[in-house]
Amino acid sequence: MKKILLLFIAFVMGYTVCAQKQKVRTDSITLQKILSEVMVMKNKMSADSVPVRQMISDSLLKVMSIGIVGKSRPLNTAYFGDHISLKLNDLDRFTSLQNSFRKKGANDSLSEIILYINGNPMRDIGVWSVNSYEKTLIFHLDRHSSYLAKLYPYFPFLWSKIHVYISVGFRNGVYIGTEGMGNKFYLQYINNWAWLLTLFLIAAIIVSFLLLAIQTNLIRIGDKHSPYSLGLTQLAFWTLIISASFLYIWVITGELTSITGSTLVLLSISMATTAGSRLVDIRRDPKSPKEIPPSDGFIKDVLSDSLGYSVHRCQMFLWTIILSIIFISDVIVKQKMPQLDTTLLGLMGISSGAYVGLKMIENNPGDDEDSAKEKKNKHHNT
């Protein structure tokens, strides 16, 4: 009886060892199949060239499911800024493939794990964390990603969502294929409620500003019936745009964005223009200020002087509008304060400087009349 028991134990141990060896042999063969699929790509790949993309057959490795981390909404829709989790059928095999790339002499940066969307590598979205127990990889959909920004043209509206195929791979162009994936996954630009809240707050700010501008002397030279000032209008305009942009970024992203150098330069130019314009008005006749005439309407007030419509005022007004469109578009798309080109900022500064400089020599009908009388009296006395 003891001999039979010993023989049975020996049989079980031998079978276990053989099964383990068979599993290791099978994993080794599978890994060799994966490596053979990417051999063509690895021959073309070099450290200084752009890697060629190569899919791994879904019969060897595949993404089993995709989910959203830490959110209670439907798990098949992700917003920019979310964390998504990808569950693989065999995470150990995937990491073994990564190690094999390193052993084969591939650049460490080219063997890093990154996210793939519609077969396109998101090279600046690396793996955020790895959960070996649940066989999942977690990625952060950073809204500031330059590669993720390439998807913006596919969104018809800010609140739209698009169907995408999510996968995972390496920087060297090797990724898990998405053919035949039955799971539906969507990307949405921004949250619907966040967009509506932002729209409501910005509309409230704009309406309040317009009411103050019309009913008070917020952007006028004197009282509430006096002409509108181009310098004050520009300063109030950029203050409104920058404040609304900051509010938009905060509500959409939940982050307090930093003020860029371009934003400070725009505010500085507007403040310098306003200060210079006011100094010119005060210096023109500091002792006996004349009665300020009533307003002739916003457009005529800001675009004309005593002789009529002037080019330097129209130029300053036009470039302010153009730069504001560029600024707002950049904020909406990238959800961050833009860094404008220095040439554009220089052009804005030159335009504002020309306005202040030419304002100093704008003809004043009253001064011309006084000068003419003085010359006439002098000639009469002579």
Q: Alpha-carbon Rg of the chain, whole angstroms? A: 34
Q: Does one domain contain both 143 and 199?
A: no
In this structure, the chain runs to a length of: 382
Q: How many domains does the chain have?
A: 2
Same domain, 104 and 162: yes
CB neighbourhood size of 168 (10 A): 19
Does some domain include residue 91?
yes
Long-range contact set of residues 284-287: C-beta below 8 Å, sequence gap at least 24 = 284/364, 284/367, 285/367
Query: Same domain, yes or no, for 328 and 304?
Result: yes
Q: Is 228 helix (H, G, I), strand (E, B) or coil?
A: strand
Question: Do 314 and 231 meet the contact criterion of CB atoms below 8 Å apart?
Answer: no
Query: Is 3 a member of any domain?
Result: no
DSSP string, 252-308: HHSS-PPPPHHHHHHHHHHHHHHHHHHHHHHHHSSSSPPPPPPP--HHHHHHEETTE
What angle (nearest 5°) sits at the alpha carbon of residue 52, between those of residues 47 and 34?
A: 100
The lowest-confidence range among 41-45, 131-135, 304-308, 319-323 is 41-45
Q: Are residues 178 and 68 in the same domain?
A: yes
Same domain, 79 and 227: no
The rounded mean pLDDT for the chain is: 75
Q: Does pLDDT of 153 surpass 50? A: yes
Q: How confident is the model at residue 184 (pLDDT cuts 50, 70, 90)?
A: confident
Q: Domain for residue 12, yes or no?
A: no
Residue identified by tokens 């996968």 is 167
CB 331 within 8 A of CB 338: yes
* CB of 197 closer than 8 Å to CB of 251: yes
| Same domain (yes/no): 114, 229 | no
One-letter amino acid at 265 equals V
Here the tokens at position 71 are: 């959110």
Of 13-22, 189-198, 280-289, give the lowest mean pLDDT range: 13-22
Residue from 111, 119, 140 nearest 63 by CA? 119
Same domain assignment for residues 106 and 200: no
Q: Which whole number is the average pLDDT over 44-56?
A: 48
Mind listing the pLDDT tens digit for each residue in 242-256?
999 988 888 877 777
DSSP β-ladder status, 120-131 and 166-170: unpaired
Using pLDDT thresholds of 50, 70 and 90, give the confidence band for residue 24. Answer: very low
pTM strictly above 0.85: no
- Residues 238 and 168 reside in one and the same domain: no
Does the residue 382 lie in any domain? Answer: no
Task: State mean pLDDT over 234-263.
Answer: 86
- By CB atoms closer than 10 A (0-12, 13-18, 19+), residue 141 is buried
φ, ψ at 122 (rounded to 5°) = -95, 85
68 is in which domain, residue-wise? Answer: 41-189
Beta strands in the chain (DSSP E): 54-56, 63-68, 77-79, 83-88, 113-117, 120-131, 136-140, 161-164, 166-170, 174-176, 185-188, 304-305, 308-309
